[in-house]
A = this chain, B = another copy of it.
Amino acid sequence: MTQQESPRKLYLEIVKQLRTMIEKDGLKAGDKIPSERELSERLNAGRSSVREALRALELLGLIETRRGEGTFIRDFRGNQLVQLLSTFILQDEKAKKDVIETKYLIEIDCLQTVLDKSDKGQIGRLKQWAIEHTYEDGEFFSRIAEFADNHLIFRIWEILKDYYHSLDLHDYQPTKQQYIDLAEALEKGDFELVLASYRKLRNLSA
């Protein structure tokens, strides 16, 4: 009765315990986790169950296994998972639309947030960077999302970005000037202007 919580799928339980273990031991990206055999022993489970958990995490891009060496924690930025999902799931037209829409919403949220709490200096540097460098769309908005100083929404945005890219619909390529315009709008602190710039950049109707 102590564990009606999760006596169901052992491998899910192992995933959970792995997470706990990683947290407790303060393991970070690049660190090595115990071998399958040792985990099997420590967690009191069969090696195959441990492997099922590891495979799942691997497919999500959370860990990386190297034959002959071991299993390592990865810098979670799902890329192969996205590819898999895209070929598997995203046939659904509606889901595509949702991804696009949501990405735009989140990006606007980030712009709003940056406007609310970034200082002029930061935005000024962003503008300078926008002027002086060449970059891809992802790079630019990655900065925006970072400046929003909200790690969670940054993560969400990253996932959405990956989904978005996997859709392969780079139909509209913003010009460099449009990025600069957006940065300048941020600098002026006028949200309406920011919104207008963003819509132009994304080629959206009002």
- Seen from chain A, the residues whose Cβ lies within 8 Å of a Cβ on chain B are 11, 15, 19, 23, 48, 51-53, 55-56, 58-60, 62, 76-79, 81-82, 84-92, 94-95, 97-99, 101-102, 105-106, 108-109, 112-113, 150-153, 155-156, 159
Contact = CB atoms under 8 A, between A and B. Distances in A.
Given A60-B85, A62-B88, A102-B150, 7 more contacts: A15-B59, A19-B88, A56-B58, A77-B95, A81-B81, A97-B150, A98-B153
A159 to B, nearest CB: 7
> Within the oligomer, what is the number of copies of this chain?
2
Contact of A23 (B91, B95, B152): B91
A152 B84 contact: no
Contacts of A89: 62, 76-77, 79, 151-152, 155
Given A11-B55, A82-B159, A151 B92 contact: yes
A11 B58 CA distance: 11
A147 B23 CA distance: 38
Contacts of A78: 85, 95
Contacts of A112: 105
A164 to B, nearest CB: 11
